[in-house]
Amino acid sequence: MSLSADRLARAYRNGFLPGSRRTVFRDLSLTIRPGETFGLMGNSGAGKSTLGRVIAGLEPPTAGRVCFHGRDTALMNRSEYRAFRRSVQVMFQDPSAAFNPKKTIGTSYMEVLDLIGTPRPAQKAVIAGILESVGLSGELLGRYPHQISGGQSQRLALGRILLLDPEYIVLDEPTSALDVSVQAQILHLLKELQSERGIGYLFISHDEAVVRFMASRVGRIEDGRLVIEGEA
Amino acid sequence: MRAMDALKSTNRGAMALLAVFLCMAAFPSLIAPYGPSERSMPYQAPGPEHILGTTNMGNDILSELIYGARISLLVGFASALLATGIGLAVGLTAGYFRGALDEVLMAFTDVVLIIPKIPLIIILAAFLRPGVGILILVLGALSWESIARVVRSKTLQVRETGFVMSARCMGFPPLRIMASDIVPNIIHVVLPKFMLATAAAMISEASLSFLGLGDPSMESWGAMVSSAFTKGGFIREMWWWYLPPGICITLCVLSVAAIGFAFEEGEGTTVRVE
């Protein structure tokens, strides 16, 4: 029941000449088990975020495979892929871009519930429950993204992801745009939710202290290869 | 601040002017003193009965001018709408899906971009049956490429934002993401393009009508100048025949373009995804 990357590689074409490719990472394997946090570190531009997007299925790998529950995601049928799509989510770095600026937070929440087929009358209660678990009030639902703070935005983004009841979340530098006190609150909230729901995290950050606080296993991308440090 | 105020007042003036032309186009029978087929003495000079005189057929020039707004605005807005629709579809598809599809669509866009428009429109209008529908189709189908380029580049930018990535990750269908998350956040760059495409289409329509390639059954402003040119208006120095439609074309295009430019200028002042 794990999410794993097997000999994964990602390269980008760099111009039209043959052989002009830039390899971001290669031969990269890792496994994330339910309820555990894998911490991923590396310098800026090392390919941490790219790896997160490839594992979440937002970008295809150049080589290798991503397996969810033992199945190669590239070979999944429609219903399997839909289940994978909902079970593996990403939380991004920039809180100001977490929500569509043209929609209220409530609309952004409701469209997720519409997507998974939650009946309209039941949606209010579901949203209230989620907001309670991320420590926010329903008053924020009527606001637009530019009317809320960075910390609130990250909590709301996390709440929106939780509506899908995911098994794994790729946390792509989720606190690096926040100030220290808010950062601590979000990290504790993430730990709390993990113990309540058994969610597996791929926690990406360049901040070693934060990664070691969050993760049970830590890896570092160096020169396009993953070096796993073992138990943190 | 002063520049912004000037911009706002220009915009208000342009909007008022466009509103006048839209009223002329929407309710010509209420505003025009005579019907389009009512005739009196030909080649009359301006007077109390006919404020702008009459044509070689005895038609009231002021009434023709008012009825002519309909064709110019219809061709302008309808072909711009068509061009914007095609440009949006091509640009969104190329920018959202990227890869080979993007390269094929952009290569096709580049080909359309280098086609000399007016000569091609003249040839098409000459070979196809002249009519408003054909004119709209031809003008719309040949002026979408700059809109497609702008839409593509903006889509490439917006698709990398957190909320679009989240929507993709959650499994929203691509069409839904484009319509619900991308289009509302790029519409501010499409709107000025739409207005400028309208102005360009109105000029093209007037040019084609002047060359006698417009719809002969409907009198547009370009066709009025053409009639004045071929039916003795210029020789008789009847400036009241050829000057008013020329002024109307100029003012209408200016008002539409000014609104387009105002939208473009206002771009920097609104809250949006960057």
Our count of domains for chain A comes to 1
Mutate one of A12, A88, A102 to test the B interface: name it (highest B CB count within 10 A).
Answer: A102
A/B interface, count of CB pairs below 8 Å:
57
Q: Residue A98 phi/psi, 5° resolution?
A: -75, -25
Option in B165, B181, B272 nearest A58 (CB)? B165
**Nearest-CA residue of chain B relative to A89?**
B169
Option in B163, B170, B271 nearest A100 (CB)? B163
For the record, the structure tokens of A123 come out as 């949606």
Q: How many CA atoms lie within 13 A of B153 on its CB side?
A: 7
Residues of chain B contacting A115 with CB distance shorter than 8 Å: 170-172
Fold of B2-25+66-269: MetI-like fold (1.10.3720)
What amino acid is encoded at B159 in this protein?
A: R
Smallest CA–CA distance, residue A126 to chain B, in Å, is 17
Domain that holds residue A227: 3-99+164-231
* Any domain includes A139: no
Smallest CA–CA distance, residue B160 to chain A, in Å, is 10
A58 with B168: Cβ contact below 8 A: yes
Here the CATH number for the domain that contains residue A66 is: 3.40.50.300
The packing angle between helices B145-158 and B61-97, to 10°, is: 40
Spatial separation of the C-alpha atoms in residues B44 and A215, rounded to whole Å: 92
* Contacts within 8 Å (CB) and 24+ apart, A134-137: A134/A158, A134/A159, A134/A162, A134/A189, A134/A193, A135/A189
Write out pLDDT tens, residues B10-26: 678 889 999 999 999 89
B272 with A101: Cβ contact below 8 A: yes
CA gyration radius for chain B?
Answer: 22
Spatial separation of the C-alpha atoms in residues B110 and B105, rounded to whole Å: 9
Give the helix ranges, DSSP H, for A3-147: 48-55, 78-87, 105-115, 120-133
Spatial separation of the C-alpha atoms in residues B137 and B135, rounded to whole Å: 5
Burial of A43 (0-12, 13-18, 19+ CB in 10 A): exposed
For the record, the structure tokens of A107 come out as 């609309």
Chain center to CA of B204: 9
Amino acid A232: pLDDT: 42
Smallest CA–CA distance, residue A56 to chain B, in Å, is 7
C-alpha torsion angle, residues B29, B33, B39, B45 (rounded to 10): -140
Q: What number is the ipTM of this complex?
A: 0.90
The continuous run of DSSP H or E covering A204 comes out as: strand A200-204
Spatial separation of the C-alpha atoms in residues A96 and B274, rounded to whole Å: 10
Mutate one of B106, B166, B176, B271 to test the A interface: name it (highest A CB count within 10 A).
Answer: B166
- Any idea what the Cα angle at residue B273 is, between residues B267 and B274, rounded to 5°? 80
Each of the 232 residues of chain A gets a pLDDT tens digit; together they read: 789 999 999 988 776 666 677 888 888 999 999 999 999 998 888 889 999 999 999 999 999 999 999 899 999 999 999 999 999 999 988 877 889 999 999 999 999 999 999 999 999 999 999 999 999 988 999 999 999 998 899 999 999 999 999 999 999 998 887 888 888 899 999 999 999 999 999 999 988 899 999 998 999 998 888 888 754 4
Residues of chain A contacting B166 with CB distance shorter than 8 Å: 89-90, 92, 98, 157, 160-161
* Any domain includes A34: yes
User: Which letter does DSSP use for residue B159 in this model?
Assistant: T
B162 with A97: Cβ contact below 8 A: yes
A101 with B166: Cβ contact below 8 A: no
User: Where would I find the beta strands (DSSP E) of A20-167?
Assistant: 21-32, 37-42, 63-68, 71-72, 88-91
CB B202 within 8 A of CB B72: yes
The residues near A138 (Cβ < 8 Å, ≥ 6 apart) are A127, A128, A131
Spatial separation of the C-alpha atoms in residues B198 and B79, rounded to whole Å: 7
Spatial separation of the C-alpha atoms in residues B102 and B108, rounded to whole Å: 10
A92 with B166: Cβ contact below 8 A: yes
Based on DSSP, count helices (H) and strands (E) in chain A, helices before strands: 7, 10
A115 with B181: Cβ contact below 8 A: no
What's the 3-state SS for B184-250?
Answer: HHHHHHHHHHHHHHHHHHHHHHHHHHHCCCCCCCCCCHHHHHHHHHHCCCCCCCCHHHHHHHHHHHH
0.90 exceeded by the pTM? no
Each of the 274 residues of chain B gets a pLDDT tens digit; together they read: 555 565 666 678 889 999 999 999 899 888 888 888 888 888 888 888 888 888 888 889 999 999 989 888 999 999 999 999 999 999 999 999 998 999 999 999 999 988 888 888 788 877 877 778 888 888 899 899 999 999 999 999 999 999 999 999 999 999 999 999 999 999 888 988 998 899 889 888 888 888 877 777 778 888 888 888 888 888 888 898 889 999 999 999 889 888 888 877 765 544 444 4
Q: Which of A109, A107, A167, A168 is nearest to A134 (CA)?
A: A109
Amino acid A19: pLDDT: 67
SS3 A183: helix
Pairing state of beta strands A37-42 and A217-222? parallel
Residues of chain A contacting B273 with CB distance shorter than 8 Å: 97, 101
B170 with A146: Cβ contact below 8 A: no
Q: Is the dihedral of CA B265, B266, B268, B269 positive or negative?
A: positive
B166 with A56: Cβ contact below 8 A: no
Write out pLDDT tens, residues B103-156: 999 999 999 988 888 888 788 877 877 778 888 888 899 899 999 999 999 999
The domain spans of chain B are 2-25+66-269
Spatial separation of the C-alpha atoms in residues B96 and B91, rounded to whole Å: 8
Amino acid A231: pLDDT: 46
CB B134 within 8 A of CB B123: no
Mutate one of B159, B170, B178, B186 to test the A interface: name it (highest A CB count within 10 A).
Answer: B170
Burial of B37 (0-12, 13-18, 19+ CB in 10 A): exposed
* Any domain includes A79: yes
Q: Which of B159, B137, B150 is nearest to B190 (CA)?
A: B150
Q: Which of A56, A162, A110, A73 is nearest to B169 (CA)?
A: A56
Compute how many other C-beta atoms are within 10 angstroms of the C-beta atom of residue A15: 9
Amino acid B269: pLDDT: 47
Whether A147 contacts chain B with CB within 8 A: no
Mutate one of A100, A114, A176 to test the B interface: name it (highest B CB count within 10 A).
Answer: A100
Spatial separation of the C-alpha atoms in residues A222 and A218, rounded to whole Å: 13
For the record, the structure tokens of B155 come out as 């889509």
CB A119 within 8 A of CB B182: no
Pairing state of beta strands A200-204 and A37-42? parallel
